[in-house]
Structure 1
């Protein structure tokens, strides 16, 4: 890991860390359909923040439970967890660089700092993650993983932080990926001028989050997707350029469409009738909710190939709607757009 620029694609590709942290008792996002949207975006859970750490932007992780709570909080907003050794003071410098940039984001991301001398089990979890990545050819053998971003509970190891500029670049890319996946929550608390950071001095002035976002999150938690859509519509009426509201609304519409669907019945029907556009779009929605982005896109591209006239238009327009939900900057969307063009022409 090196001097190559960080990009959104590099921050995707989650590795399974199940068993290394405890999941919430309800099994994921409240109000979400079974399966959760691990690769696209899930409804926010009722809780957010580390146990014993309060709602600060930068928190100490004193034990494995606090680590687990931070991972669970990443269902609502991005969380970064970084390691240092208290016995080696110099090892804390990267954490300090990250902390300064995180505080300047005024609640869009949370940082957990772990002293591995005090919480060795978290260090062991990161070591296991490094081994998994090495076995998959994503890291050189023996690489150390010391900083991991969590989005919707999924870990994405980050490269070593060389300086403040690198820390800022990494966090900017994490936030881009978060927004593109509909993860638009905020760390609880009032962080407009967090820890004395002068946002104007940083040159990045943050707009205050719309109160309609909070209404949308509450509706999501209750499984009230109509209410979430309405709240996001109000946010967009006030600010048509509100990307968080745009992606959040797309997520709410997706969950609304899949609510009440019998996945087994729908999939069986689509398998028996591959040119049935309604069934194909329903399966694609279920795939997207389950995080199977490429499967959702591929199914509708195949449907476009099998149909003509109004049915082809219906399949194409539904696919374009899924592109909007995932985000135009996503590499999977770019590839699917190319495949769609080939299917059409």
Structure 2
């Protein structure tokens, strides 16, 4: 059931949490579940967590459904194969961590927990009741509005507790403060935080124009360029296009991007290395440049990159 007080958009799909709502209602009828606000006074911390962002599955979903009688809980069902999920995650994490313990984010990997079903989406748990919020990656200002109104709606229902964020205090005390990023790098990171990958790409490109040897800018540009290339394309469309036109270099590039974003690094490299071996001389440079770009995305110290780099070298001189 959707709460009419929240500005929902792109409804539908997502995880079926009706079982949680039903269990919560049965518990209340039997006197087993706490009423909202019963255990924690307004603003009072009723539990401690190392971070306001928690990764989990079915057990954590049940646990935080109970906790939602004390404070609202965001649930992000995500997929690393979905570019919207990748772009949305840092925005949600930033908003939750800046809520001073009044909100918790539970992140669930849809691929790792298929028993929960559903597509990438964001929901809320309020008083043990699941409320669909949105799918995709809405504009940042819309997400901020939804989160703020979620906290307000929870407060109207007497759900005003909080969690104490402890963090890793020992590690924080022993580690030196991180160095500030160069201005254009910070501009790119700020753009990614608000979900603007085009602005992030532009910032990294300007950083490279100013300093062509800036390796961090090169890596950042490769990563955001992959997000830009995948934007607006679905997994099914990418796979179908590559299957229907195996000779299309662009189609094979898209599948490789998809595999990299989903963590299937070896699959991506093997696909492009096979493509390099089979393509004509005119296109070999283009394929080689894409392989090298994906090396930057994954990281030069990764063992999979080292293996693929050796295979590429062998092909170049075979």
The TM-score with structure 2 as length reference comes to: 0.49
Larger radius of gyration: 2
The TM-score with structure 1 as length reference comes to: 0.46
Q: Greater share of strand residues, 1 or 2? A: 2
